């Protein structure tokens, strides 16, 4: 009976050591490769490109709207200029998600999983209840951290795909408004340009102000979509995984602990 227990202990320790080695040398190197999360990276790159376009067009539209004669459109131009800061913040978050894809994988499979295996070995040898719980929590937390970004990006893509057309419309309307207000921002003594400006002043100021208001509305909507897809949804997915880990680890998880030699000898 004692030999059978020792054999099972040695087998369990060997399996845990093998898992730690495979995690450290094979899986960690694999997940650090760019191709591992190619789909997630492409999705993030698509959002980055959209945010860059929104940043550029909001700046151009702000310049064009500020050039419209009169003070009516000035508040709109100021609001459009403010969008640049928000979009830059979203851009930083997107780049952080992209870089964390490989960094988190290395941290999980080179540090957390090997440490969990070490705690598992200690559990097998000493029968420690604390080490058992620590090993289980480390594995669950590590795997949750590893999949939280791809899962968050996947969920956000569902929302992003539904509102992508409205974002494209916002960009197109801002570019069109910039073209229509370009005559106000040109510094030239050419008679044709002066005539064009006078015509726009007399015929198009109210119309351009109304279009600027529409562009502002579309950019507010686009900003809301990008905040939800780039910030809120990934955060909610992270909270969900942490809650799930807490729910699982709050219950008893059956992990066999072999009795020590002393206890076996007493029996």
Give the pair of three-digit tokens for residue 67. Answer: 């050039």
| pLDDT for the residue numbered 172 | 93
Which two tokens mark 32?
């650090």
Average pLDDT over residues 30-53: 90
Half-sphere exposure in the Cβ direction for 29 (13 Å, CA): 5
Q: Is the dihedral of CA 30, 36, 40, 46 positive or negative?
A: positive
How far apart (Å, rounded) are the C-alpha atoms in residues 37 and 185?
45
User: Terminal CA-to-CA distance of the chain, rounded, Å?
Assistant: 11
Task: Judge whether residue 252 has pLDDT over 80.
Answer: no
| Number of other residues whose CB lies within 10 A of the CB of residue 140 | 18
Longest distance between any two alpha carbons in the chain, whole Å: 108
For residues 16-31, give the mean pLDDT: 92
Q: Cα-flanking dihedrals φ and ψ of residue 51, to 5°?
A: -65, -40
Mean pLDDT value across the chain: 83
Q: DSSP class of residue 33?
A: S
- Higher pLDDT: 71 or 21? It is 21
pLDDT tens per residue across span 53-84: 999 999 988 988 887 776 777 888 899 899 98
Q: How far is CA 106 from the centre of its chain?
A: 18
Report the share of the chain in percent with pLDDT over 90. 41
Q: What is the 3-state secondary structure (H, E, C) of 153-185?
A: HHHHHHHHHHHHHHHHHHHHHHHHHHHHCHHHH
Give the pLDDT band of residue 156 (cuts 50, 70, 90): very high
CA distance 47 to 99: 15
- Between CA 15 and CA 27 the distance in angstroms is 16
Of 140 and 5, more confident: 140
Average pLDDT rounded to a whole number, residues 186-212: 59
Q: Is 38 exposed, middle or buried (0-12, 13-18, 19+ CB in 10 A)?
A: exposed
């Amino acid at each position: 009976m004692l030999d059978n227990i020792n054999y099972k202990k040695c087998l369990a320790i060997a399996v845990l050591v093998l898992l730690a080695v495979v995690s450290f040398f094979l899986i960690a190197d694999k997940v650090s490769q760019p191709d591992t999360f190619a789909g997630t990276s492409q999705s993030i790159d698509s959002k980055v490109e959209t945010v860059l376009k929104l940043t550029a067009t909001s700046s151009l539209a702000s310049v064009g709207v500020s050039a419209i004669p009169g003070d009516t459109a000035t508040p709109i131009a100021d609001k459009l200029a403010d969008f640049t800061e928000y979009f830059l913040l979203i851009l930083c978050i997107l780049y952080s998600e992209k870089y964390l894809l490989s960094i988190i994988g290395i941290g999980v499979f080179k540090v957390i999983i090997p440490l969990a295996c070490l705690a598992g070995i200690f559990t097998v040898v000493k029968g420690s209840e604390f080490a058992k719980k620590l090993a289980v929590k480390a594995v669950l937390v590590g795997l949750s951290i590893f999949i939280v970004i791809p899962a968050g990006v996947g969920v956000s893509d569902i929302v992003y795909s539904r509102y992508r057309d409205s974002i494209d419309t916002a960009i197109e309307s801002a570019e069109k408004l910039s073209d229509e207000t370009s005559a106000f921002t040109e510094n030239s003594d050419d008679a044709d340009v002066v005539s064009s400006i006078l015509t726009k002043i007399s015929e198009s100021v109210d119309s351009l102000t109304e279009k600027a208001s529409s562009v502002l509305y579309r950019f507010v909507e686009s900003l809301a979509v990008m905040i939800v897809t780039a910030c809120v949804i990934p955060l909610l997915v992270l909270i969900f995984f942490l809650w799930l880990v807490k729910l699982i680890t709050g219950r008893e998880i059956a992990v066999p602990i072999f009795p020590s030699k002393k206890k076996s000898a007493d029996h």
